[in-house]
Each structure stands twice: as C-alpha cells, then as structure tokens.
Structure 1
Amino acid sequence: MRQKILITRPLFPDVVDRLRQYFDVTVNDGERYTSEQLHAALQDMDGVMVAGGEKIDDSVVRGLPRLKALCVSAAGYNNVDVAALTRAGIIGTNSPGPADETVADFTWGLMIATARRLVEAAHWLQQGQWKGSAGSRWFGANLCDKTLGIMGMGRIGQAIARRAIGFRMKAVYHNRRRLDPAIEAECRAEYRSKEALLGEADFIVLAMPYTPENYHLIGAGELGLMRSSAMLFNIARGGLIDEAALALALKENRIAGVGLDVFEGEPAVYPGLMGLPNAVLTPHIAGGTAEAQHGLASLAADNLIAALGLGPQAGRPPSVFNPEVLSGR
C-alpha cells in the first residue's frame, strides 16, 4: 500500500504532482484546521506538510501511531513544539535557505520605507493633501554612510550585510558565536557586544530565530541604549521585542522609527503600535514571493519524501530539526 500524506494548505500544483508520484495525497483547500480538526485529519496519515504558522503541539501529535514525519514549509518552526514531536517519535523538518535572499531584499525595502517615510507620505498624497510643494514636510533619513547593526548573523543576516556594501554602510553584528574571519571579510561586518551594537548603530535589524532565551530580547532597557535617531526592524519572529515598551519609546520619540513584519500575537497586533506615524507595519510577508514560496515547498517535499523512506535521499531528509528521532530508527 502507498503511504498517505496530508498537505494542510494548498500548494504549487507541480509540487503536489511530485508528491503524488510517491504517496496518496490529501490537500486541505478549505478553512485552516483547528488543532482538533488537524489531529482528526492525521489519524490515518503517514506524513504531513504544514505551513509556517500552524500551531503543532502535544494535542495535535499525541496518539498518532502511523504519523512518521511532519515537514514545515518554512525556515522557522517556532510554531512547532519540538519536544512533543520528539516524544511522539515523529521526524520534524523545516525548509531553510530558499527565502533567504527574498527576506534580505524585503528588509532593505522596509528600512528604506521607514527611513524615507514612504508609507506615511503615500497616504497623505492619496488623501488629496498635496496642494503644492511638500517642502521639508517629508524629510527622512539617509541610509548611505550610516551604521547598520544586525542581531543574528545567520544566512539572512549575512545576506542583509552584503547588501549594505552598496549603501556604503558600516556593518556591525552580534551573534551567539562570532563568525569565521572569512565570512566577516565577505560581509565587511565587525563583531560587537549586544550593548555596543545598540548604542552604535543607526539602523538595527533583528534576524535571529526565536527561542525562549530570546523572548523580549529588546525591552525597555535595550531601547534605552539606542540613539534617539536610531530605527529598529524585526523581520525574524514575533516575541523578540517587548511591543508595549517599543510603542511607548516611539510615542515619546526616544527612537526615531520602527519597521515590523512580525508580531508577538500575530495576526493580532499590539494596539499601541497601530496608527503611529513612525511605525511601518506589514503582515509577515518578508518571504512572500512566488519564487521563495515555491522553493520552500519544494524543499519541504524533498524532506517528506526522504523522511518516509523514498526517493534519492531515502532516510536522509535534508533539514531535520530533531535528529534524535531519525537516529533512533
């Protein structure tokens, strides 16, 4: 008998067709599953591909003896309770890599939009407010020749840093571990402590994964270290910033601006951030291009095929985040 898999959200047809070569495939093209509905849908499944935002916890994966693999079509997997997955003996994979350059491009767009007040100015124009010369009303800030601080210097952080070269920006970074000197040279980036980076940089980008240790990494104390002219950007994960402290700092003009693509309670947004003229807020779309999403789905398919013992990488899925399950089989 062919193994059965579930795809929880509609995918690119060519990716689904490739999976059909190996499995009996069910695609949920209706409303997003609740946790209870997803648990029920997985009762007779051998594998599942989930989107990046679907919550996977013990209530979803407990008591599913057939389920052997859960593959996330996203680089981040903080929506997955890894310990629960491991206890259930289910291989978990994610899709790092395909969206890195896309997210880096978006980060620069967000920085430019915030620094040059593009969203605010566009709304003003569309409301019919432009009656003559705008004069100094929409003066913003230059990015060129400023200092860019990157917190989290993985693949995306490095891609952001490489783009800074074209803006003649000095790049400094903070990471759990200092990078190899060759990578530092390629990115033209200098290591700093967290505190030194916050005090030095004009533009600060959060590009690290979310972990419990990183919860509210940027709070009132850290915001107090930033220059009043500095701007903060989060394209990583919600929960890295204390949004209440951030909203207060923005209202009191203790920092100049913020660009956020992710939020702690998304899709809900902390109310204090809404309507602030110095905040550019976007709905978690940094990786939102067809090219990037197709790449994520393709890698998730590679993982699922391999995790269920088929294809050219049978038994060796490319990106496993709980390898102890795999090694125990």
Structure 2
Amino acid sequence: MKKNVFVFSRLDSEYVLRLEDNFNVTQLDPQGDIDAQYAAALPEAHGLLGVGRPMGRAQLAQAGRLEVISTISVGYDNYDLDYLNERGILLTNTPDVLTETTADLGFALLISAARRIAELDAWVKAGNWQATLGPAQFGCDVHGKTLGILGLGNIGAAVARRGRFGFGMDVLYHGNSRKPALEQELGARFCGFDELLGEADFVCVVVPLSERTHKLIGRRELALMKPSAILVNVARGPVIDEAALVEALQNRQIQAAGLDVYEQEPLRESPLFALSNVVTLPHAGSATYETRRAMVELALDNLEQALLGGTPRYRVNPRVRGT
C-alpha cells in the first residue's frame, strides 16, 4: 500500500508525477483554504515536503502517522527539532547543493556594497550623470583587503576562496572550532570574535541561526568594526540586530552593508529602504534555476529514501527511531 505525502510548497508537475509513482500525493492549493487543507492532509500524511512553514508541537499534533519532513532548504530553524526528536520524526534538508551559488551571491553583495553598484545604478538612471565622477560617488577597493568570515563552514569557506584567490584578500575567521586544512589552503587566520570585528575590512556572516547566534551582531559588535568596514549577511536575518544596524548605517558608524536576509521576511517596509549605503536583496541566496532544481531533486531523494526503507543522504536528526 502506498504511503501518503503532503506537498506544502509549490512543486512543478514533473516532480509531482515522480512522487505519484510511489506515493499518494496531496498538493497544497495556495488559492484555497490553507488551514482546512492542512487539517485534512496531516492526519494521513506519512511524509511532508516543502519549505517556509513553521512546524512544531502545535502544527503537527494531528499528524499521527508522520515519519519524515523533507525541507527544501539548508536551514531548519522553522522546525522544532526537540519535538520532532520526541515524536521520532525524521527531518532531512538540502545542504551542499547551494554552497557555491550562495557564496556567489555573498561576494556579489560584498562587491556591490563596496563599489556602490545599486546606488550608482539608480543615480545614473535618474539622469544624474552629467560630468566625470567625483569623490561623492567613489566606492572602495575590494582587492587586497581583509575579509573576516564568521562561520567558516561550507559556504563561508566558498566565500573565503573567492576573496583569497580572486581578489588577493587576507582571510580571518571565527567559529566554534579551528579548521587547520582551510587555514593551510586559504592562508586563513583563526582569531577571536572581537578581534575579527576590529581588523576586518569586510565582515561576512555565515553562521546558522540558534539561541547562541541570535543577534550575534548588535550595537556593541558594530561599534567594534572599522568606520570603513562593510557588513554582509547571507546567514539568517535574526543573527543581526536590525535596529542596531540601521542606526550604525544612518550614523556612518560603518561604511555599508549588503543584506540578503532580515528579521522579518518578506521585508515590505523598513528604514533600510531609506539608506543609500545598504544593498537589500530578497533572500535570493539560492535563487538560480540550477540550484533550486537541485534542491528540489535532493529533497525528493531524501523523502523517497526515508519512506521506502532507505537511508536519506542528509538527515538533520539521524538518531530518531527508524533511521
């Protein structure tokens, strides 16, 4: 007998057809009654597939048959891991396939903030380019500067490689542990948190969101950075105290910021929008055709393996029963 899968995010028909080879599939209709669809699907679902919806005790109380949630993302802060462990529900995710793409975007933000790409693009389109540029339009160099990485995991290391080998940057990093192999490869130097903030010309935040990293960068930390420093965040929005960052940018306490993530998403209104020294992107780190396709395919692989008796490649909580 086929198991039941509830797809709670938009999925192309080719992937739905693939799932239907092995499972009874129900797909969320975003135009319908969302709550009613969840109420109908969850009690029978053995597997869930999607991204972006918080799931914990309150949301999954009626999901008595649930075995696995396959999230189409790397991050899993939307999921109550303690509750999933308590229930013996496996959570899988999609790391690695978006490493290089997210690093591309992180470095694009860094360059855009340094060379004022978005600001000058808008300035030219507004008809302001009437003569040779003067100091009011100057940016700052990227090559040869010091790049500080907070969280030298896969994405952080990929950003560091771009800086080191593409732009001749010195690399500093801080994290939970030292990475000797990466130190040798990148000539990177492990240093204290405050030391990195004080020395780096560019601070790139690539840490997972947790209780420990919530508002990791606030007023105190921004005050430690150079007035010429640029802050880049491709991690999670709540890692930075957004009100403190707005204040620092308004007062030119730091030079600029490049942001892809925010405390509240989607970001429809924000004092950030009034600032010329910040680049704001719509959580686009993995938003390429190739990467999103690879993420969906990996999420499907994880789901199929979990429900058909195999071992999923990426398990967030591998010790739950049945795995």
The alignment status of 1:46 with 2:41, answered yes or no, reads no
Choose 11-20 or 204-213, whichever is displaced more.
11-20
- CA-to-partner distance for each residue in 1:223-247, whole Å, 9 max, x for gaps? 1110000010100101101111111
Paired position in structure 2 for 1:324: 319
Q: Secondary structure at the match of 1:42?
A: helix
Distance in 2 between residues matched to 1:306 and 1:270, nearest whole Å: 42
- Matched AA of 1:177: S
Choose 165-174 or 85-94, whichever is displaced more.
85-94
Paired position in structure 2 for 1:18: 18
- CA-to-partner distance for each residue in 1:85-125, whole Å, 9 max, x for gaps? 22232111111111100000011111111111111111112
Paired position in structure 2 for 1:292: 291
Structural mapping, 1:36-115, within 5 Å: 37-51=37-51, 53-115=52-114
Q: CA deviation at 1:269?
A: 6.1
Choose 229-238 or 270-279, whichever is displaced more.
270-279
- Matched AA of 1:173: Y
- CA-to-partner distance for each residue in 1:171-213, whole Å, 9 max, x for gaps? 111110111x222222332111111100010000000110011
Q: CA deviation at 1:220?
A: 0.7
Q: CA deviation at 1:32?
A: 8.9
CA contact (8 A) 2:48 2:68 kept: yes
Matched positions, count = 322
CA contact (8 A) 2:8 2:49 kept: yes
Q: 1:86 to 1:212 in 2, by over 3 A?
A: same
CA contact (8 A) 1:114 1:280 kept: yes
Q: 1:230 to 1:36 in 2, by over 3 A?
A: farther
- Matched AA of 2:171: A
Q: Secondary structure at the match of 1:162?
A: helix
Paired position in structure 1 for 2:116: 117
Structural mapping, 1:172-251, within 5 Å: 172-179=172-179, 181-251=180-250
Paired position in structure 2 for 1:145: 144
Q: CA deviation at 1:4?
A: 1.4
Q: CA deviation at 1:326?
A: 3.4
Q: Secondary structure at the match of 2:160?
A: helix
CA contact (8 A) 2:42 2:62 kept: no
Please identify runs of 4+ aligned residues in structure 1 that moved more than 4 A: 31-37
Q: Secondary structure at the match of 1:258?
A: strand
Give unpaired runs (5+ residues) of structure 2: none
Q: CA deviation at 1:39?
A: 4.3
Distance in 1 between residues matched to 2:147 and 2:102, nearest whole Å: 16
- Matched AA of 2:318: P
Q: CA deviation at 1:264?
A: 1.0
Distance in 1 between residues matched to 2:103 and 2:221, nearest whole Å: 24
Q: Secondary structure at the match of 2:65?
A: coil
* TM-score, scaled relative to structure 2: 0.94
Q: Secondary structure at the match of 1:239?
A: helix
Distance in 1 between residues matched to 2:272 and 2:134, nearest whole Å: 28
Q: Secondary structure at the match of 1:64?
A: coil
Q: 1:32 to 1:77 in 2, by over 3 A?
A: farther
Q: CA RMSD in A?
A: 1.8
Q: 1:39 to 1:191 in 2, by over 3 A?
A: farther
- Matched AA of 2:73: A
- Matched AA of 2:272: L
